[in-house]
Amino acid sequence: MNRRRSAAAAITVVCALAVLASPDLLNRAYAAPMPPPAPVVPLAAPAVLGAPAAPSPPAVPPPPVELPPGAGPVTKDGKSLDDIRKEIDLLYQKAASATDAYNLADEQAKKQSAEVVGLAEDLVQGQLRIDALKDQAGAAARAQYRGGGLPPEAQLILTDDPQLFLDGVGRIQQGQKATKDLIAELTAAQEDLKTYTADASTQWQALEASRAKKERAKKEITRQIAAAKKLESSLAKEERARLARLEADAAFRAQSAWLGSGALTDINRASSAPGRKAITFATAQIGKPYVWGAEGPSSYDCSGLTSQAWAAAGRLIPRTSQEQWRLLPKVAVEDMRPGDLVIYFQDASHVGMYIGDGAIVHAPRPGRNVTLAGAGSMPILGVVRPDI
């Protein structure tokens, strides 16, 4: 038990500070004034079967110094850097929620667009069918006209040949049935055409609604990201460097508290074969940039990464983190295994893939790259398993 706790403590340092894995973050973090460094501990990717090793920064900074609320560096506007960090985090969380709304509307628009196209094809085929039936009815009318305008029954009565009379009765009965069938088919085709038209109108309205949702979500994403970037750019260079260190410190504390709570009882549970394939794909994307709405191959958002990773493993899962949380089977956090998806925040607006050793691979937010992080470095909503 002591050995496992010691391992977990070491993993806390390794995984939680993986937010520093991108070069720009490293440079900014180490540019900040720091106390004398603690012994250097190399940062390596967790050992996961089938997963390539991730790039390692040169060293892990010393553990953060606990500060009372509101303490720490203060900007020229009178706000503490920690308050600014929380404000920036909140703006990016709002952008993530809007991104999920955008992705869902995009998926719905694609589906509805395909349905509209299918209904349009049905309308064309339905009209062709009605035209063909009308041609058949016209042919019958022309045949009657060629018979002197008399209906077949009247022509039959005028015949003197008994055999022709009997043969004619059979043909009349067949003709009457054919006429009834023709009328019934024509009526059904016209009703189908009305249904196709109504369905097409409904689907078109739904498509337009989804497009409008996409545009609203796009504006909200742009607004929140612009506000976050403006807030960060208002800081001096030294303040931005300290802000990066505060971000790392907050992740370290959250991961330490999570592992220390005993929430994860087995950090190296065995993954499934599809789970290993998904991990291999996801970890191979490390270093690629986060772009909202992206699902590869050169960039990803959080759910774009997880959905494509599981698609590479042969399992199609919902596109958005909120739909992944809503529709995929849930498992207890203490029972999660590599390949499972960890859903974050109360609105399920972020997702990462658990890869073992208390770590996840995820696409964090705009301005960051796909990277490793401590699984407990953000508030966990729950865990889902795509391959139950």
**Could you please report the per-residue DSSP string of 209-222?**
HHHHHHHHHHHHHH
- Among 350, 365, 368, 385, the active-site one is 350
- List the one residue out of 6, 109, 11 whose CA is nearest residue 356: 11
302 is catalytic: yes
- Measured CA to CA, the distance from residue 72 to residue 61 in angstroms comes to 18
- Among 54, 104, 302, 333, the active-site one is 302
What is the crossing angle of helices 162-233 and 81-146, to 10°? 160
Beta bridge partners of 383: 331, 342
350 is catalytic: yes
Hey, which bits of the chain come out as E strands? 330-331, 341-344, 350-356, 359-362, 371-374, 380-384
Strands 341-344 and 380-384, by their bridges, are: antiparallel
- Measured CA to CA, the distance from residue 309 to residue 285 in angstroms comes to 9
- Among 28, 218, 362, 368, the active-site one is 362
Asked if the peptide bond before residue 366 counts as cis, ω within 30 degrees of 0, the response is no
362 is catalytic: yes
Annotated catalytic residues are 302, 350, 362
